[in-house]
Amino acid sequence: MTNAKRLEGVLSPVVTPYTPDYEPDLPRLIAHCRWLLSQDCGLAVFGTNSEGNSLSVDERIELLEGLVDAGVDPKRMMPGTGCSALSDTVRLTKRATALGVAGTLVLPPFYYKGVSDEGLYRSFSEVIQRVGDAKLRMYLYHIPPVSQVPITLGLLERLLKEYPEQVAGVKDSSGDWSNTKAMLDAFPGFGVFAGSELFLLDTMRNGGAGCISATANINPAAIHRLFATWQNADADAQQAQLAELRKFVQSFPMIPALKQTVAHFNGHPGWARLRPPLVELTEAEAQGLISGLEQRGFTMPGLGKAA
């Protein structure tokens, strides 16, 4: 399909910590990224569950530069760089690529709905041409439940034909396995990531690249184990165990639940803070979440306590 370098494995849309005045907390972000890397999990910073679109372009660039300056390996990163404005997407993607990231996760311009494949093709094409960097590896982000701007097979086919090196893969967060399977079938060798570990085993069995999953923020090692051992006899049992925990966590509002879990196991209540308009779990929800995790014997080994 393409000679473009392809990422593989499990990546987390890293949750973003905030200070009491809702400023990004870089030291705590660095610490969480280091823990994720220690658990064999890559970093899709500024994804949906990172509250990426609640961060300005300047904030994302500053955080990304701060991570790299702190020694976090950019080759383990796939930062989200897609914005509604073409110029913002270009600026973020260009800076991330210059910093040496392995790839960029690019949403379609998502404000206007019902746009044509022609319009989306022009948008992605302009990003590629304006970034103008041979190192660019773009992963398109298909999340129609949120963006309401789908990335169709026809659009992927056209972009791959024109930009076989730069367009390296796709994250399918449609929640529809038949759509992920169609992408895998249509584009062998393309870097297709499932948007949840619920589909990780099926994705690997059909030639996929891995998954980029919200719950990799809290359960990275177990998800990576399935990625690494998907051909083993216990793969279906692993998948069932991952699915049970995922379904429990997503029975709560996902981003607040992830941050509440980190706060509990890290021992720093501020980790539960979200930037408005998102809000924290209610006290009852938080108690139900932590109680359910404890009943399952869930832990986050090696996370360490807050300094």
Q: What is the pLDDT of residues 100-118, one digit of tens each?
A: 999 999 999 999 999 999 9
pLDDT of amino acid 6: 73
Q: Are strands 138-142 and 42-43 parallel, antiparallel or unpaired?
A: unpaired
Helices (H), 117-250: 117-131, 144-147, 153-162, 177-186, 200-205, 220-228, 235-249
Residues 240-252 have a mean pLDDT of: 98
pLDDT of amino acid 184: 98
Q: How confident is the model at residue 307 (pLDDT cuts 50, 70, 90)?
A: very low
Task: For residue 168, give the 3-state DSSP assignment.
Answer: strand
Residues 299-307 have a mean pLDDT of: 76
Mean confidence (pLDDT) of the chain = 96
Write the pLDDT tens digit of every residue in 25-80: 999 999 999 999 999 999 999 999 999 999 999 999 999 999 999 999 999 999 99
Helices 153-162 and 177-186: crossing angle, nearest 10°? 30
Supply 112's token pair: 């206007």
Active site residues: 48, 111, 141, 171
Write the pLDDT tens digit of every residue in 284-298: 999 999 999 999 999
Q: Is the pLDDT of residue 2 over 60?
A: no
Helices 57-69 and 86-98: crossing angle, nearest 10°? 10
Residues 263-287 have a mean pLDDT of: 97
pLDDT of amino acid 306: 47
Q: What is the pTM of this model?
A: 0.95
pLDDT of amino acid 1: 43
Q: How far apart are CA 21 and CA 173, in angstroms?
A: 31
Write the pLDDT tens digit of every residue in 74-110: 999 999 999 999 999 999 999 999 999 999 999 999 9
Q: How confident is the model at residue 305 (pLDDT cuts 50, 70, 90)?
A: low
CATH: 3.30.390.50, 3.40.50.1370, 1.20.1510.10, 3.20.20.70. Which one for 9-295? 3.20.20.70
pLDDT of amino acid 71: 97
pLDDT of amino acid 137: 97
Supply 132's token pair: 């103008």
Q: Is the pLDDT of residue 246 over 60?
A: yes
Q: How far apart are CA 163 and CA 16, in angstroms?
A: 32
Helices 283-295 and 235-249: crossing angle, nearest 10°? 160
Among the listed residues 30, 22, 26, the one whose alpha carbon sits nearest the alpha carbon of residue 274: 22
What are the CB-based long-range contacts (under 8 Å, 24+) for 230-238? 230/200, 230/201, 230/204, 230/205, 235/201, 236/201, 238/201
Strand partners, 105: 80, 139
Q: Is the pLDDT of residue 4 over 80?
A: no
Write the pLDDT tens digit of every residue in 139-185: 999 999 999 999 999 999 999 999 999 999 999 999 999 999 999 99
